[in-house]
Amino acid sequence: MKTSAMSVMACGMSGVVSGQQSGIKSSPVRLGMASYTFRNFDRAAVIGFLKQLRIDTLNCKDSKDHLPSTSPEEEQEAIDAYKAAGIHLTAVGTISFPKDDEADIRAKFEYAKRAGVRVIVCDPAVVALPRLERFVKEYDIRLAIHNHGPEAEVFHSPLDVLKLVNKMDLRIGCCMDIGHAMRAGTNVAEAVKIVGPRLYNIHAKDLMKADARNSQVAVGAGLMPMRELFQALIDTNYQGFVDLEYEMNGDNPMPGVIESIAYMRGVLGGMGYKA
């Protein structure tokens, strides 16, 4: 057993040296996790899952106790727990802005400010957009409007988001949910290029059928052109995260999550990057 272990270590070290010599670069595409993936689990379990996955960034939603919006004290408790575990919060959401209400909007920006994030993934009412533009200027926090596919009232794809915000402050842009975008008939790689500097977050998932919401599978098992998507992100110098949002098997998501993360890391490896 000792000999076998030493052999494995030697192979691993050989691979590292070989990778260094062959010029493998650190990936410009940063993989993260949307906490909604673990919506049926508490914060302690989420932290454990992230450790297992070797992921240290989290796009955090107010699910269970992931990042409570009920009080600043409970929110701070969560922030401290993530910090102690070496986990960096990159965004909050999806947060709803259902009305043009000053107090409601300010409370949600304060929530994001306390969390120390620069991006709010959101689902806003169109009527609230002018007031939200004032708030992104005041707080210097970006709004990433989440597209929800053909069922959505307005924001079917990131291209629909762009139509409404392209003349507003640059800090108002898109969170492209690539599964919902595909169902809306959008070429996700081309959408990355079109949205360009207004793309602030990506929710990653995969589908077996391009028009069927209930056909979601682990990333890599469906139709999603991940290599083309990653290349478009690299070509446009995308600075945000690709956060896995795996919505299947809420009570046992890890098998699909592990498969999805491994596939995306493998795609990046095949492109010459170490994820």
Domains of the chain: which residue ranges? 26-274
Mean pLDDT confidence for 72-86: 97
Max CA separation in the chain (angstroms): 68
- 81 is written with which tokens? 């727990």
Residue 143: C-alpha distances to residues 24, 64, 76 (Å): 34, 23, 22
Angle at 164 between CA 159 and CA 169, to 5 degrees: 110
- Angstrom distances, CA of residue 252 to CA of 39, 247, 256, 257: 11, 11, 9, 10
| Cis amide linkage into residue 37, ω under 30° from 0 | no
Q: Give the pLDDT confidence score for residue 10 in this predicted structure.
A: 34
Q: How confident is the model at residue 9 (pLDDT cuts 50, 70, 90)?
A: very low
Question: What is the rounded end-to-end Cα distance, in angstroms, of the chain?
Answer: 30
201-237 confidence digits (pLDDT tens): 999 999 999 998 899 999 999 999 999 999 999 999 9
Q: For residue range 13-48, what is the model confidence (pLDDT) as tens digits?
A: 333 334 444 567 899 999 999 999 999 999 999 999
Please state, rounded to an integer, the average pLDDT across all residues of the chain.
91
State yes or no: pLDDT of 5 exceeds 90. no
**What pLDDT, on the 0 to 100 scale, is given for residue 19?**
44
- Closest CA relative to residue 97, chosen from 67, 123, 119: 123
Mean predicted confidence (pLDDT) in 97-113: 97
Which has the higher per-residue pLDDT, 121 or 93?
121
DSSP string over 120-171: EEEEE-GGGHHHHHHHHHHH--EEEEEP--TTSSS-SSHHHHHHHHTTS-TT
Domain topology for 26-274: TIM Barrel (3.20.20)
List, for residues 161-180, the tens digit of each pLDDT value. 999 999 999 999 999 999 99
